[in-house]
Chain A
Amino acid sequence: MRSLIVDDEESARTRLRRLLAAHPEIEVIGEARDGLEAVRQIEEQKPALLFLDIEMPGLTGFEVLRSVPENVPMPLVVFITGYDEHALAAFEANALAYLLKPVEPERLAHAVRRAQALHAADDDPTERQRVLKVARESQPMLRQIVCRKRDRAVLLPPDQILWFRMDDGIVKARSAADAFWVNHSLSELESALPAEMFFRARREVLVNLSKIKEIRPYFKSGFLLIMADAEATEIAVSERQAKVLRQRIPGL
């Protein structure tokens, strides 16, 4: 089984690698030292199994899972955590595999057996759904957004993104200087980003309210948002959302 180890501590990675040496059926194809690297490796190597630490600099383990593109097969996941009561409760409730640090060889063997069984059952999609569900519930808010451009990916905090726009089935993010695409759907972004910061101007646009330069009246009871980017991009607010915006901003 092609496996990827994701942990920010070198000693943790080397120890897990050493423990996995007792399981020849597991082939460790790589290591990732942080979340972003993990996302990139998942996309490139498409591992079947992930040993995923939750608390990491940059992206957390949960955010890594949420950032995996839909066209990339979601690997089976064995979560690794030092101490996280809430996450443990979620894993237990959803019967997901997890390991506690320091990792015990017996428990690792158990997790490996379970992963192999699931793998043999050939891509049980419900397992993947469960993993994503737990990831969403355990950490509802995205603290960082994985933004991609050609072959590179960068992490941007949400407050640096001016707007997200759905374009030809791809969600694009716009920062002050650059444009990216992201792996999240607009509705997922809307629910996972601070509601006081982001506003759904139209069905296909999510706008950062703190990055609006100007609001102009537009046709009957509509609005036109002038954004704070270099081109002063104009974004029209749909008639239905204009009412919501009026409630959000008193005196508009």
Chain B
Amino acid sequence: MHPHALTLGSFYTGNLIAFTTGVLVTSLLLILTLRAAKLPGTPLSNILFACCALCWSAGGLARTVAVASDISHSTFLVRFAWSLQYVGAAAIPIPILAVWSTYAAGESRQRAARILRAVALANAIVVVALLIFRSAALVPIGIASTENIATFSATILLLCGVALLRRASTPGAVYYPSLAMVIAAIGASIATILRVHLAPDAGAGLNFLGSHLVLLIALCAFFLFARFRYADVFVRYGIRILLVGFLTAIFANGINGVHIQQLANHAPPTAFTIHMFSLVAIANGLLLGFSFLDDGLSKLVNRWLFRPADTRAAARELSRTLAGLETESDIAAAVETAARGPLDLSQARLVSFAKDAAAWPHGLVEGEIVELSINDPLRKSLPVPNAEVLVPVSSDGRVTHLLLATPGPSRPGLVLHDLNFLRMVAAQAGNRFDTLRREQEAIERESREALLQQQVTEAELRALRAQIHPHFLFNSLNTIADLVVRDPVKAETMTLRLARAFRHVLKNASRSLTSVREEMEFLRTYLAIEEVRFSDRLTVEFDIDAEVEGDAVPSLILQPLVENAMKHGLGPKPGPGTLRIAAHAEGPMLRLQVEDDGMGLGSAAASASSNGLGVANVANRLQTLYQNQASVMLEAREGGGTCATILLPRGEAPKHP
């Protein structure tokens, strides 16, 4: 039994593991804080903290390795490492106090915080001076004493510092980690006292927990309140490293417990101990490194075996291109190019998809990607030779297009990653089709509305224009020209009537409604002129209810019907004809009628597009003025001739000056 060798070995192993772990964690922290320093809002104290922690861990690691390698304590290397470690420990309160002081509330506390920071700085300087002097052997102080001074003063400073924080004015996310950190520091101090003074031999296997893992806990705690950009990355990796370090420690203790004990019974071979340490160190390093390797390895495997194409750039490019495309063929071309590019496809084609063909695989219609086997009969019917993958493109809630893809020689089998890319391309195409359709619908709707508006306006204009055919004017003038010579009195009457008729037309051109009385007055005048022209072949009868005389009617609404009756009904009829115009109330409606005993509907309907046009104009005007409440009807009259009837809702005529 060689108790000293066992104790020493365990102690070194524990330190080795703890410091290696610590170096890794603190290096990571330093790298991340330096990176974050480029970003705004990162306090300098973060970097200082990382430096201090790295000093402690790196110094400790170097010393442990040196001691384990049987290098004398008195060599410069060991003394330097030792000094580095405790400079780190002594300086650690400085950044922590700096962070805390921002939370110190009140004038007195602020001042106290400033004093504390000054003390911490002085303490660090004293420790550094002591170490330098001791190294130069100027001061007769042992290493253990310096160690103690550094540890205890740091602990006391942190204790004072945390007293600055008030629960009420400090966020919980800062307060509790701070408490944990102080407790860890006290723990570390106690562990140091235990190790150095009280029981150098007892519980050595777990010694590192006291002095080093406490530091690591403090690290994590620190980053819970001193947040910076990569804090999450650090915590993630830090936890990994700690876990692996812990496992390594258990493993190392296991080895110590069984084998070294046995060997140590016979001889204390220093060389073997060293061998053992290096073995443990390598295992330690491998284990720690694995946590990083594992990530890198999976990436490497992915890259070498599957060479996943870089589809992100292509996807971005596609979405940018698609936004500017208007036609289906352009979109298809862009989609084909985008799909072909990163995947090295030999063929890619976007075709429209008709569901009717029963030959399509079921899943395709549901929107799933379908891969065709070599012998699939569908292959022959597709427009792309050897198409292997069919990607459905959905728009408007159904599959409207298919993206056919033939893999190229450099990437004969498309893996999940590639199919996802094709699916994404198809989705983009579908979205674009959707957007395009919506745009087109909007345009069509607009143009339809514009057309409708135009039609309404035109119908109104046409109705106005058709009210008095210019023919009527010129024929009347021709008649007057003849009468002037033959019958001057009649010519005068005719001229006056013509003037009256046209005055009515001009007056009503600008307004839509007039009274039944006025409208009938106009028709009397108009027909009196026609009677002269027809040389008394024409008899006109009026049948107007007295109660409807004040009712509103669309101005000149009957004139086209009267003109029709004259032109197609009575005009072609040889011999005398009768025209009857009536206006009656019929409940809430007003019934206007123009009847003739002329040639009848048969000849009129068969012969005249102009007849239809007259009635259509009347119908258009009624529709515009009364929507569906009014109607016009042309029917054959009993005993020959035609009867045109207008039904419209009764209403009082507007008063015109």
Contacts and interface: CB of A to CB of B under 8 A. Distances in A.
A12 B476 CA distance: 10
Nearest to B573: A57
A8 interface: yes
A57 B571 contact: yes
Given A102-B481, A144-B607, A157-B606, A8 B571 contact: yes
Interface string A79-94: 0001110000000000
Interface stretch (B51-59, B466-474, B500-508): B466-474
Contacts of A101: 474-475, 477-478
A11 B479 contact: yes
B423 interface: no
A73 interface: no
Interface in B510-536: 532-535
A82 B479 contact: no
Contacts of A55: 471
Nearest to B480: A102
B291 interface: no
Interface in A1-32: 8-12, 14-15, 18
Contacts of B567: 57
Interface stretch (B107-115, B231-239, B482-490): B482-490
Q: Which of A14, A82, A83, A103: most chain B Cβ within 10 A?
A: A82
Nearest to A17: B482
A57 B573 CA distance: 8
B321 interface: no
A177 B326 CA distance: 65
Contact of A83 (B473, B481, B486): B473
Interface of A is mostly: loop
30 contacts: A9-B478, A9-B479, A11-B478, A11-B479, A11-B482, A12-B475, A12-B482, A15-B485, A18-B482, A34-B574, A55-B471, A58-B572, A82-B472, A83-B470, A83-B473, A100-B474, A101-B474, A101-B477, A102-B474, A102-B477, A102-B478, A102-B480, A102-B481, A103-B478, A143-B606, A143-B607, A157-B603, A157-B606, A158-B606, A159-B602
Contacts of A158: 606
B492 to A, nearest CB: 15
Contacts of A18: 482, 485
A83 B478 contact: no
A12 B478 contact: yes
Query: Among B477, B481, B482, B486, which residue has the most Cβ atoms of chain A within 10 A?
Result: B482
Nearest to A14: B482
Interface of B: 469-475, 477-483, 485-486, 532-535, 567, 571-574, 602-603, 606-608
Nearest to A157: B606
A143 B568 CA distance: 12
B474 A10 contact: no
A201 to B, nearest CB: 21
A11 B473 contact: no
A12 B486 CA distance: 12
Nearest to B487: A11
Contacts of A84: 471
Interface residues of A, number: 24
A82 B533 contact: no
Interface of A: 8-12, 14-15, 18, 34, 55, 57-58, 82-84, 100-103, 143-144, 157-159
A107 to B, nearest CB: 13
Contact of B533 (A9, A15, A58): A9
Nearest to B479: A11
Contact of A82 (B474, B482, B534, B606): B474
Contacts of B478: 9, 11-12, 15, 82, 101-103
Nearest to B537: A10
Contacts of B533: 9, 11
Contact of B606 (A12, A83, A102, A159): A159
Nearest to B494: A11
A11 B483 contact: yes
A82 B477 CA distance: 9
Contacts of B607: 143-144, 157
Contacts of B471: 55, 82-84
Contacts of B571: 8, 57
A89 to B, nearest CB: 15
Contacts of B469: 83
A11 B567 CA distance: 18
Nearest to A142: B607
Contacts of B535: 9-11
B562 to A, nearest CB: 16
A12 B472 CA distance: 13
Given A9-B535, A12-B475, A83-B474, 12 more contacts: A9-B475, A9-B533, A11-B479, A11-B532, A15-B481, A34-B574, A57-B567, A57-B571, A82-B473, A82-B474, A83-B470, A101-B478
A15 B602 CA distance: 35
> Ordered nearest first, which 4 A-B pairs have the shortest CB separation?
A82-B474, A57-B571, A15-B482, A57-B572
A15 B477 CA distance: 12
A38 B116 CA distance: 130
A84 to B, nearest CB: 8
A52 to B, nearest CB: 15
A73 B133 CA distance: 146
A143 B483 CA distance: 33
A133 to B, nearest CB: 22
Nearest to A56: B571
A12 B533 CA distance: 9
B563 to A, nearest CB: 12
A31 to B, nearest CB: 13
B385 to A, nearest CB: 40
B393 to A, nearest CB: 37
Nearest to A8: B571
Contacts of B606: 143, 157-159
Contacts of B479: 9, 11-12
A158 B471 CA distance: 27
Contacts of B572: 34, 57-58
Nearest to A85: B470
A83 B469 CA distance: 9
A34 B573 CA distance: 10
A101 B573 CA distance: 24
Contacts of A102: 474, 477-478, 480-481
B531 to A, nearest CB: 12
A15 B482 CA distance: 5
Nearest to A83: B470
B255 to A, nearest CB: 98
Nearest to B535: A10
A43 to B, nearest CB: 19
Contacts of A143: 606-608
Contacts of B486: 11, 14
Nearest to A54: B471
Contacts of B534: 9
A143 to B, nearest CB: 4
A18 B534 CA distance: 19
B545 to A, nearest CB: 33
Best-surrounded residue of B474, B535, B572, B608 (most CB of chain A within 10 A): B572
A12 B534 CA distance: 11
B435 to A, nearest CB: 41
B596 to A, nearest CB: 13
A9 B533 CA distance: 6
Contacts of B470: 82-83
Residue of B478, B483, B532, B533 most packed against chain A (CB within 10 A) = B478
